[in-house]
């Protein structure tokens, strides 16, 4: 399906460490987006990478996209306790966008 699947489901790290989350999908896409969701809140857009791009950076975030492997990764460097949240990838095709089940990241102070 077009819907992304995140891996791992949960990740626990110490403050200052890097966190890597992966997203796999099965069909062609136009773009892939990453979102963050704090408990009980709405999703916040982090970064969008188009199918013809391989890597994008935004502050401490680095996203890669490998369309041949149908996968993407989100790297958060020098993590902080405030990065504790759920992270979702969303695959976009034409006017359709679908979310995965997310990775729950816990950053321990």
Partner 1 sequence: DAGVTQSPTHLIKTRGQQVTLRCSPKSGHDTVSWYQQALGQGPQFIFQYYEEEERQRGNFPDRFSGHQFPNYSSELNVNALLLGDSALYLCASSLGPSSNQPQHFGDGTRLSIL
Residue with tokens 């489901």: 9
Please say which residue, 44 or 82, places its beta carbon nearer to partner 1: 44
Q: For residues 19 and 15, give the distance between their C-alpha atoms in angstroms, rounded to a whole number.
A: 10
Sign of CA dihedral 28, 30, 36, 42: negative
Residue 71 is a binding residue for partner 1 (CB under 8 A): no
Q: Which of 43, 74, 76, 105 binds partner 1 (CB under 8 A)?
A: 43
**Parallel, antiparallel or unpaired: strands 61-66 and 10-14:** unpaired
**Strand pairing partners for 95?**
none
- Please report how close the Cβ of residue 39 comes to partner 1 at its closest, in angstroms: 11
> What is the size of the binding site for partner 1 (CB under 8 A)?
24
- Please report how close the Cβ of residue 12 comes to partner 1 at its closest, in angstroms: 16
Residue 39 is a binding residue for partner 1 (CB under 8 A): no
């Amino acid at each position: 399906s077009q819907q992304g699947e995140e891996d791992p489901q949960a990740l626990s790290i110490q403050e200052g460490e890097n966190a890597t989350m992966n997203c796999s999908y099965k069909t062609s896409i136009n773009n892939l987006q990453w979102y963050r969701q704090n408990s009980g809140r709405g999703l916040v857009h982090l970064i969008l990478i188009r199918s013809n791009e391989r890597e994008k950076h935004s502050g401490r975030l680095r996203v890669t996209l490998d369309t041949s492997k149908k996968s993407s990764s989100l790297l958060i460097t020098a993590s902080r306790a405030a990065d504790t949240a759920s992270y979702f990838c969303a695959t976009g095709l034409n006017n359709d966008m679908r979310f995965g089940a997310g990775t729950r990241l816990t950053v321990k102070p």
